[in-house]
Structure 1
Amino acid sequence: MTQDKARQQDQEAASVASDPTLNKEAVDEVVEQYERSANSDDDKELDVSTQKELGDVERALEDSVLGMDDAS
């Protein structure tokens, strides 16, 4: 990947990350999937990409909570 393409992807990710509506929708979707799987009686394993996505969301939520705690 070229540096320009990587820079463009970073800028796109930053603009998406700064949009609170998109963040809320993404978090809501992941939370809904998590709750659905937690309430399910199936003992199936989540695929690796889903586990990674849930981990990323969990870390982002922790970071935002820590940021709110620091700000207060």
Structure 2
Amino acid sequence: MKKSLLFRVWKFTFPYIDIRLTGLAGLAFGLMIAKLWVPILYLDWYWYLIIALLAGIKPIMTFWKQV
């Protein structure tokens, strides 16, 4: 009997190119949001820094645990 999808997801591994392409897709989606919803571009620069730092915490912690 197969394990549920939820358990199998934790064992997924992706090649480097897939991870980079996912990042590119996220960047393109962010640019699309900025194009469609112009008021978001009027945020101060530090809001973008805070969002980037919060989004980067988990990947950075995972990286340092493996090093």
- Give TM-score scaled by structure 2 length: 0.43
Structure number with greater Rg is 2
Q: Which has the higher contact order (CA 8 A, sep 6+)?
A: 1
- Give TM-score scaled by structure 1 length: 0.41
